[in-house]
Structure 1
Amino acid sequence: MSTNSLQAVAGAIARQKMIDASTIRPDTTLEELGVSSLDVTTIAFELEEEFNLSIPNEALDGLTTVADVVTRLNGLLDER
């Protein structure tokens, strides 16, 4: 798992939910963090800007943990 990707995802979640990014671990579920489907979309927009890539809506399906988001992000980065 890329440290940069993990930091970016944790930072985006922290800003969206107004929590401390250092409390976000890869195995933390999005539900535990109070992340809604609307939050996921907003977080995806932020990651698109940060990494200059397009995240298709279907890439947001089935995300359960922070690690899932990082893995999906890394996969999209590898594809470009």
Structure 2
Amino acid sequence: MSINDRVIAIIAEQAVLDPSDVTPDSTLEDLGIDSLGLVESIFAIEEEFDISIPFNANEPSQSDFDISNVAAIVAGIEKLMSEKA
């Protein structure tokens, strides 16, 4: 399963949606994921990929991690994975 598919599966699970309902252009807000759901998604992604995401839940706008849409989240995870390798 690709990074993209795994991230979409995690986000879909948080949003209680079918993965086919989650597109690269979807924002977390579009999917009905609130700030708590976002934090839970970040934790699930960190666990899935064994990475640490530079995200501050108290100040999301100050984070170095782009959560503007699903594609940005996937790109950020791919970058973290390549740095880890």
Answer whether TM exceeds 0.5 for this pair: yes
Partner Cα separation in structure 2 for residue 59 and residue 12 of structure 1: 21
What is the aligned counterpart of 1:72 among 69, 72, 76?
A: 76
Moved over 6 A (4+): none
8 A Cα contact 1:14 1:20, kept in partner: yes
RMSD (CA atoms): 1.6
The amino acid across from 1:38 in the alignment is L
- Name the % identity: 36
The offset of 1:4, in angstroms, is: 1.1
Q: In proportion to residue count, which structure has more helix?
A: 1
Report which structure shows greater RCO (CA 8 Å, sep ≥6).
1
Segments of structure 1 that go 5 or more residues without pairing to the other structure are none
Q: Which runs of 5+ in 2 are unaligned?
A: 56-62
Corresponding residue to 1:28 among 23, 26, 29? 26
Q: Is 1:50 matched up with 2:48?
A: yes
Aligned residues: 77
Larger Rg: 2
Instruction: Tell me the TM-score normalised to structure 1 length.
Output: 0.83
